[in-house]
Structure 1
Amino acid sequence: MPGPVLYPYQQRWLEDDSRFKIGMMSRQIGKTFTTTLEIALDMVAAEMEGRRTRWVILSRGERQAREAMEEGVKLHLHAMGAAFQGAEDVFHLEDRTTVRALEVSMAHGSRVTALPANPDTARGFSANVFLDEFAFHADSRKIWAALFPVISKPGLKLRIVSTPNGKGNKFYDLMTADGDTGWSRHTVDIYQAVADGLDRPIEDLKKSCGDPDAWAQEYELQWLDEASAWLSFDLINAAEHDRAGIPENYTGGPVYVGVDIGRRHDLFVIWVVEEVGDVLWTREIVERRGATFAEQDALLDDVFARYRVLRCCMDQTGMGEKPVEDAQNRHGSSRVEGVLFTGPNKLALATLGKQAFEDRRIRIPMSNEPLRRDLHKLQKVSGPTGAPRFVAESDSGGHADRAWACFLAVSAAASPHMEYGYAPARPEAGGLYRGPHRMRMRPDFDDEDFPPRSVLGFKPGAW
């Protein structure tokens, strides 16, 4: 059976047998495919020589680890006609979390294991290692500190590939370090890949991307300065989780909702979080562009029907006045709170939201690039009088609409609470919503300039 057709940049990477090899490569050019081919070839060569080889693939999440195994290693071994066995296992880490690992083994004991990257998983193996999309790993420096002693044994190899993800991670350090570092470095942007024969319509991709910064970083491999970003990519990476953003994972717990109003150019966003212990798990993000107010009302009502919503904070600024008033009439003013986006209120919202990211109290969907860009584009700058204000360059993704919806949901979860009785808007929404539950509320204020209690971050029992 003929082998895969490799482009020159892939051949250069595959033929480089350096012990420490790192590649900064554009999106959509097959960097994981090529590196998993190197692993599969090493396993087959070891089997033919009667020896054993051991590889570990550390990916940014469980889904990416599965893709590297299923669409990489296994695919290549099948193509080469190699016999192997597959298995799954669950690892229990020191922080009491569990991760799922996939493994492929061969007759003479050669094995490859793919699992999510974590300082504990990085420390647990003595093997050749492939760090896939390393710039996007949460705690990349802690992972590096745990990993490097593991691969210090003579003969073990380390492979790293990624697109850039700002300057605040270990991948940036490794790619930009001066002098003889012992690393073999490869750089392939989208233009080099196409020049080497890859069939990609560059102008169409650039136009559909619609974000100059995203194009510069993910395709042209430029390092973006994070100095002014309110949420760094490191904070965003640490909050991402494979199981976030999936409505079916809702466990019936208390839910808090943030709503950013948009009618024409900007997005209308509903951000839904469930409180599990002390962590806010994103269960769903509803996004619409150009939706009528009637459609927005219906979307919000559907969220209230499917989840046990204790509190909802909505953007009341400008066109938000009527949607907030209508939502309060339908769901109660004690459950729906309007938030005016004044300077002090936005600072309080953004600060509360950032604290949730810094304290690892929020989980967001993984590999959602429009969401990542929206969270990262928000910047804190000083106004003419020196007062802080938040800006986000408007583009096809709006004015950081997803970020503000997220911060509103976090604010809703920070309010005091009381007991109340609740039944779902639709009986079919599920029996586990019935009965007395805890609800967060505040007294009404006549002064619209006074920051809402949820924005101020009051804790339960404060009043």
Structure 2
Amino acid sequence: MSAVQPALPLYPYQRRWVLDDARFKIAMFARQCGKTFTSTLELALDCARAEALGQRRRWVILSRGERQAREAMNEGVKLHLAALSAGFKAYDYDWEPGIKALEVELPGGSKITALPANPDTARGFSANVLLDEFAFHQDSRAIWKALFPVISKPGLKLRVISTPNGKGNKFYDLMTGADDGWSRHTTDIYQAVADGLPRNIEELRKGAGDDDLWAQEFELKWLDEASAWLPFELITACEHEAAGKPEHYQGGPCFVGVDIASRNDLFVIWVFELVGDVLWVREIIERRRITFAEQDMLLDGVFRRYRVIRACMDQTGMGEKPVEDAQRRHGSSRVQGVLFTSSAKLELATRGKEGFEDRKLRIPEGRNDLRADLHKLKKVTGATGVPRFVADSDSNGHADRTWACFLAQHAAAGGQTPIEFTAAPSLPRGFDNLGAADDEAEDHLALIEPRSTW
């Protein structure tokens, strides 16, 4: 811990943060408790100290977006440096920072820059870093992968601050780690008030009028279990070590869900085999940025390897042609297109969740990417009261596996389809002289399309 005391009066929780000189430091602060003010104060003091010693410091603030980057600069860095500049002048020290919109450069060459965060900006510098509201950064894991090697140079520091935003992001991983060299700080509204912050807790809680808002923004609770459509408890309860392995296929009836890819989203084929009354995952095929021809080949392979009774495919938008082509190849009674309207998604998600709740599914064990995908789907209610389902898009996908899973369950919901056919007439004696008559007769029978009775 540094022995330098800040000149500004700070609450104890703010002093604890500013004076903690750990190389890797992370904190959760309740809303409106001064986390940006506090974290940018450390940056300003560090640069001013370096200037006094004839050294240079380089700090980069990565914020959720440009607006947040501007706020960090205007409401934090510039405010502190203006106060420090006045202090220097009081001691007859000629010091005035040069200030641009999102960058400050001190006379001795130290700099503080604020930028919107993305994987590209995270790679483009070598500096000390402050990740501001990191739980809300889009694609936080990709940003982290790009960023961490940048601060690997000895002596560079990393600061991470945020309020919680569920468990599906890198901030949660960092904040809940242990014995990994990180210094962790947590200041909820109760601790802040106990340390002297003037807030009326009961008045704020009643005024919020939303238990989830209060729990997350002020009590710093991880709310995924309340807001996620599929809580981790449901997901892990359906995991099995034998699921997801094609070699365990027993030859039973199979039901398939296909989520059509859109640019960087995943193309997913989900295969269930019905064993007794339980749907076992036999295979999950995932590809990114492949052609429609390659998608068709993968689906045809599934129909060859498994006894597919029914396949449901996302027919929305670009899915129209893949569905039409699959119906032509495999029969319209075995391939059904599903338009992702609000009502259809509600039906799919409701049936999908019931499968997890009833423990009628077996999914692969220990796949963190699959868990995260299934867990990221959230049900929200719009201004009109109509429920809809949303999921953040990141490097792990856009809940593509989840919708493929739900489509496969939808395919299974109709039960097994009786195969009806009309026997081919007997072939005249001698027909085989025309060449390969037996093979042609078998091919003819194989092409007879089963007719669904549901």
TM-score scaled to structure 1, two decimals?
Answer: 0.50
1 or 2, which has the higher strand percentage? 1
- The 5-angstrom pairing of residues 36-51 of structure 1 reads 36-51=40-55
Are 1:85 and 2:98 an aligned pair?
Answer: yes
Preserved CA contact (<8 Å) 1:42 1:53: yes
For the pair 1:171 / 2:209, whether they are aligned, the reply is no
Q: Does the CA contact (< 8 Å) of 1:118 and 1:143 recur in 2?
A: yes
Deviations 1:334-386 (A, max 9, x none): xxxxxxxxxx953435699x9xxxxxxxxxxxxxxxxxxxxxxx998439x99
Give the AA of the match of 1:85: G
Judge conservation of contact 1:24–1:161 (CA < 8 Å) in 2.
Answer: yes
Report the CA distance between 1:162 and its aligned residue.
Answer: 0.6
Matches for 1:124-273 after TM superposition, within 5 Å: 124-178=124-178, 180-226=179-225, 229=228
Is the 1:380–1:391 contact (alpha carbons within 8 Å) kept by the matching residues of 2?
Answer: no
Counterpart of 2:383 in structure 1 is: 401
Specify the code of the residue in structure 2 equivalent to 1:140: S
State whether structure 2 residue 25 is matched by structure 1 residue 11: no
The 3-state SS of whatever aligns with 2:159 is strand
Partners in 2 of 1:158 and 1:63 — Cα distance? 22
Paired residue secondary structure (1:161): strand
* Structure-2 residue corresponding to 1:348: 344
C-alpha distance 11-380 of structure 1, shift in aligned 2 (>3 A): farther
Shift of 1:56: 0.1
Q: Are 1:27 and 2:23 counterparts?
A: no
2:58 to 54, 60, 64: 54
* Contact 1:165–1:217 (8 Å) recurs in 2: yes
CA contact (8 A) 2:51 2:110 kept: yes
CA contact (8 A) 1:228 1:380 kept: no
Tell me: CA distance 1:400–1:106, structure 2 relative to 1, closer, same or farther (3 Å).
same
What is the identity percentage for the equivalent residue pairs of Structure 1 and Structure 2?
65
Name the CA shift for 1:219/1:391 in 2 (closer, same or farther; >3 Å). closer
Work out the CA distance in 2 between the residues paired with 1:121 and 1:78: 27
Q: In 1, Cα distance between the equivalents of 2:66 and 2:378?
A: 34
Q: Distance in 2 between matches of 1:113 and 1:141?
A: 22
Report matched runs for 1:331-410 at 5 Å.
346-348=342-344, 381-382=353-354, 399-401=381-383, 404=386
Is the 1:229–1:379 contact (alpha carbons within 8 Å) kept by the matching residues of 2?
no
Give the aligned partner of residue 239 of structure 1: none
Residues 211-230 of structure 1 deviation map (CA, whole Å, 9 limit, x = unaligned): 11121111111111258635
Q: More displaced, 60-69 or 78-87?
A: 78-87
**1:107 offset after TM fit, Å?**
1.2
2:30 maps to amino acid: S
- Helix, strand or coil: the match of 1:113? strand
Q: CA deviation at 1:85?
A: 0.9
Structure-1 residue corresponding to 2:293? none
State the one-letter code of the partner of 2:212.
D
- Cα RMSD (Å): 3.6
Q: Report if the CA contact (8 A) 1:230-1:379 is conserved.
A: no
What is the aligned residue count?
254
Deviation at 1:166, TM superposition (A): 0.2
Determine which structure has more spread, i.e. the larger CA radius of gyration: 2
Query: CA separation in 2, counterparts of 1:79 and 1:208?
Result: 35
Give CA deviations for 1:198-257 in whole Å, capped at 9, x if unaligned: 00111111111111112111111111125863599xxxxxxxxxxxxxxxxxxxxxxxxx
Gaps of 5+ in 2: 1-5, 86-94, 232-262, 264-339, 359-376, 391-454
Equivalent pair of 1:60/1:132 in contact (CA under 8 Å): yes
1: distance between equivalents of 2:378 and 2:40? Answer: 42
Q: In 1, distance between residues paired with 2:79 and 2:189? A: 25
The aligned counterpart of 1:71 is 75
* 1:113-155 Cα distance to aligned partner (Å, 9 max, x none): 1011101111111000000011010011000000000000000
1:24 is displaced (CA, Å) by 1.2
Q: Distance in 2 between matches of 1:186 and 1:7?
A: 14
**Contact in 2 for aligned 1:21/1:184 (Cα 8 Å):** yes
> How many Å separate the matches in 2 of 1:156 and 1:407?
41
Quick one: structure 1 residues 162 and 66, their matched pair in 2 at CA, closer, same or farther if it must change by over 3 Å? Answer: same
Conservation of the 8 A alpha-carbon contact between 1:24 and 1:164: yes
Cα deviation, residue 4, structure 1: 2.8
Shift of 1:164: 0.7
CA distance in 2 between counterparts of 1:379 and 1:67 reads 44
2:128–2:157 Cα contact (<8 Å) kept: yes
The 1-side partners of 2:344 and 2:27 are apart by 41
Name the SS of the counterpart of 1:112 in structure 2: strand
Q: Separation in 1 of the partners of 2:181 and 2:192?
A: 25
Distance 1:114 1:351 in 2: 45
1:27-78, CA deviations, whole angstroms, 9 ceiling, x for partnerless residues?
Answer: 1100110110000011111111111100000000111100100110010010
How far, CA to CA, are the matches of 2:25 and 2:58 in structure 1?
17
With over 3 angstroms needed to count, the CA separation of the structure-2 counterparts of 1:220 and 1:380, relative to structure 1, is farther
Cα distance change, pair 85–167 in 1 and its aligned pair in 2 (3 A): same
Distance between the aligned counterparts of 1:407 and 1:174, measured in 2?
27
Deviation at 1:400, TM superposition (A): 3.7
Superposed, 1:99-114 pairs within 5 Å as 102-114=102-114
Whole-Å Cα distance in 1 between the matches of residues 193 and 61 of structure 2? 28
Unaligned runs of 5+ in 1: 89-101, 233-277, 279-343, 355-377, 394-398, 409-463
Q: Decide which moves more: 213-222 or 189-198.
A: 213-222
Contact 2:70 2:114 (8 Å CA) reproduced? yes
- The answer to whether the 8 A contact 1:392-1:400 is kept is no
Q: Which amino acid aligns with 2:148?
A: F
Q: 1:228 to 1:84 in 2, by over 3 A?
A: closer
